[in-house]
């Protein structure tokens, strides 16, 4: 298959599976009472989520056994766990909107949002336990590990906000736990649902770790490189808000003198005015961090693709690779 055809096929399959996932999610949380417990869970799932993680779960199962038939409940469990984290993240961030709609704690209240999120965790485990598998213990362990690791990542993110001497290692550890682990867990759980071997599961986890890292670092990169409006947010928003990104932390290692002072002021002052974003971007260009970051993104993507070369079912394997390439192009 050539690159264009591969992308078309993957996008078509994604569309079909997106409908399949959304239809199944629409049948979750169908109890009407207590309304303040189940309505918020339905509401968060009705948002414009791209369902990246459950799609990866289904493809992982196909890559190890040729079918995703037994993986749907596991995929739903992963997506519900993800949405629980979004509810609680929005509370901690005091966010008012998600995908253009009021966040759950704004639509109801903080207590209802916390309680609904807590219920969603248990519901996710129930779904995993109802999957067609004799490896339920492994599935629960994967979800538990992902849940704990995401909490660690969120705690590290909060600590990173206050840390004056944050390093690249601190940042990479945080994104691996906060963002990367649920992606790798989605793939690992799909592999278990497909009765994959330990070696196959390790390949899927490595694929997820590498793609997760590339995706998050690319997010940092696109923030400064995007034209206003195209990425859905203001160009340089991370700098304006004083966010410690890969670009900022790596540039601090590569610069000195007045340039380094400018970058340090972003951390010290927890942000910078929008009209100074071009100055910071110019520093990034001069120190070479933009080129270095683009190379790092490409390297992690290539390592991810190589990691799954030995998975036994070519169709599922190639769809995983194709979807990874689409993710990194941000074409949808």
Residue 102: which H helix or E strand, with range? strand 101-102
**C-alpha distance across the termini of the chain, in Å:** 20
139, 195, 242 from 134: Cα distances, Å? 10, 9, 48
Give dist(CA 259, CA 254) in Å, integer. 10
- Are the beta carbons of 64 and 311 closer than 8 angstroms? yes
What residue ranges do the domains of the chain occupy? 3-329
**Chain-centre distance of CA 181, in angstroms?**
8
Q: Residue 190 region, left (φ>0) first, then alpha (ψ -120 to 50), else beta?
A: alpha
Tell me which fold the domain 3-329 belongs to: Farnesyl Diphosphate Synthase (1.10.600)
Q: How does 76-88 read in b/e, with b if 16+ C-beta sit within 10 Å?
A: bbbbbbbbbbbbb
Query: Residue 232: what pLDDT?
Result: 52
Please, which residues have CB within 8 angstroms of residue 37's CB and are 6 or more apart in sequence?
Answer: 112, 115, 116, 119
Give dist(CA 62, CA 316) in Å, integer. 5
Give dist(CA 38, CA 32) in Å, integer. 7
Question: Residues for the chain: how many in total?
Answer: 332
Query: Residue 171: what pLDDT?
Result: 96
What is the token pair recorded at 215? 């995706």
| Angle of helix 168-175 versus helix 198-225 axis, rounded to 10 | 120
Query: Residue 117: what pLDDT?
Result: 97
3-state secondary structure of 63: helix
pLDDT, one tens digit for every residue, the chain (332 residues): 444 447 889 999 999 999 999 999 999 999 999 999 999 999 999 998 999 999 999 999 999 999 999 999 999 999 999 999 999 999 999 999 998 999 999 999 999 999 999 999 999 999 999 988 899 999 999 999 999 999 999 999 999 999 988 999 999 999 999 999 999 999 999 999 999 999 999 999 999 999 999 999 999 999 998 765 444 556 899 999 999 999 999 999 999 999 999 999 999 999 999 999 999 999 999 999 999 999 999 999 999 999 999 999 999 999 999 999 988 875 44
Global pTM? Answer: 0.93
């Amino acid at each position: 298959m050539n690159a264009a055809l591969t992308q078309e096929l993957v996008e078509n399959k994604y569309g079909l599976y997106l409908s399949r996932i959304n239809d199944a999610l629409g049948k979750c949380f169908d109890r009407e009472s207590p309304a303040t417990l189940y309505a918020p869970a339905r509401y968060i799932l009705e948002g414009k989520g791209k369902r990246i993680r459950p799609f990866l779960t289904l493809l992982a199962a196909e890559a190890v056994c040729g079918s995703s038939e037994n993986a749907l409940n596991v995929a739903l469990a992963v997506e519900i766990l993800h949405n629980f984290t979004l509810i609680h993240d929005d509370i901690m961030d005091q966010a008012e909107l998600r995908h253009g709609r009021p966040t759950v704690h704004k639509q109801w209240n903080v207590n209802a949002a916390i309680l609904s999120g807590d219920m969603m965790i248990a519901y996710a485990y129930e779904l995993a336990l109802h999957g067609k598998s004799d490896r339920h213990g492994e599935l629960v362990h994967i979800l538990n590990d992902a849940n704990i690791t995401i909490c660690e990542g969120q705690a590290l993110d909060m600590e990173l906000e206050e840390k004056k001497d944050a390093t690249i290692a601190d940042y990479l550890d945080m994104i691996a736990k906060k963002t990367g682990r649920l992606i790798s867990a989605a793939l690992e759980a799909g592999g278990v649902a497909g009765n994959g071997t330990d070696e196959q599961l390790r390949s899927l986890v490595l694929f997820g770790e590498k793609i997760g890292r590339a995706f998050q670092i690319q997010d940092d990169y696109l923030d400064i490189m995007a034209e206003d409006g195209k990425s859905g947010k203001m160009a340089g928003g991370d700098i304006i808000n004083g966010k410690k990104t890969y670009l900022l932390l790596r540039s601090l290692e590569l610069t000195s003198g007045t340039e380094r002072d400018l970058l340090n002021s972003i951390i010290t002052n927890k942000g910078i005015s929008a009209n100074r974003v071009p100055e910071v971007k110019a520093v990034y260009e001069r120190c070479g961090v933009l080129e270095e970051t683009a190379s790092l993104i490409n390297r992690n993507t290539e390592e991810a693709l190589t990691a799954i070369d030995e998975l036994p079912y070519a169709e599922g394997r190639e769809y995983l690779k194709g979807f990874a390439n689409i993710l990194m192009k941000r074409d949808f």
